[in-house]
């Protein structure tokens, strides 16, 4: 029997959506306000979920304290109050869309989660706009 365990977290970060190989006009047409050359920010809400079998000894799929500490060390410390385009190496050549941020988060967490367990990342850029990635 598989059970899903989730932990909610948040971080605040700035970004700009643009492609340096496109003209300002094309970036503006595709990305609109998100193409602001002075960047703009979001209060991101993050839900990290781990699916797996319940350990018969502990009763846990994963210890939520371990998941909390992992999110803090790998994601919040790396992204919170940062300009994603400028300060986060993963976005040096990757447009920091919500989709790409979710994949980067998943990739940062995956090596730390038992390979027998499934990992899912849901990232809310706004209360109504969110993406989910599960590998």
Q: Is 29 a catalytic residue?
A: no
CA 105 to chain centre: 4
* Contact status, residue 85 vs residue 13, Cβ threshold 8 Å: no
Q: What share of the chain is helix, strand, coil (3-state, %, to 5)?
A: 35, 30, 35
Two tokens, residue 54: 């319940």
Separation in Å, CA 9 to CA 2, 48, 60, 100: 23, 8, 20, 18
Catalytic residue among 25, 34, 90, 112: 34
Catalytic residue among 29, 40, 53, 81: 81
Q: How far apart are CA 18 and CA 114, in angstroms?
A: 36
Q: What is the three-class DSSP state of 92? A: coil
List, by residue number, the catalytic residues: 34, 81, 125
């Amino acid at each position: 029997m598989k059970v899903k365990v989730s932990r909610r977290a948040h971080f605040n970060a700035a970004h700009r959506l643009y492609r340096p190989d496109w003209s300002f006009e094309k970036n503006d047409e595709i990305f609109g306000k998100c193409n602001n050359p002075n960047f703009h920010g979001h209060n991101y809400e993050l839900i990290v979920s781990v699916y797996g079998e319940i350990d018969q000894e502990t009763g846990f799929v994963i210890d939520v304290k371990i998941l909390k500490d992992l999110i803090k060390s790998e994601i919040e410390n790396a992204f919170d109050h940062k300009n994603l385009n400028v300060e986060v190496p993963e976005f040096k050549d990757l447009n920091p869309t919500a989709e790409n941020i979710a994949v980067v988060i998943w990739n940062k967490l995956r090596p730390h989660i038992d390979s027998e367990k499934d990992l899912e990342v849901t990232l809310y850029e706004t209360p109504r706009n969110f993406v989910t990635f599960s590998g």
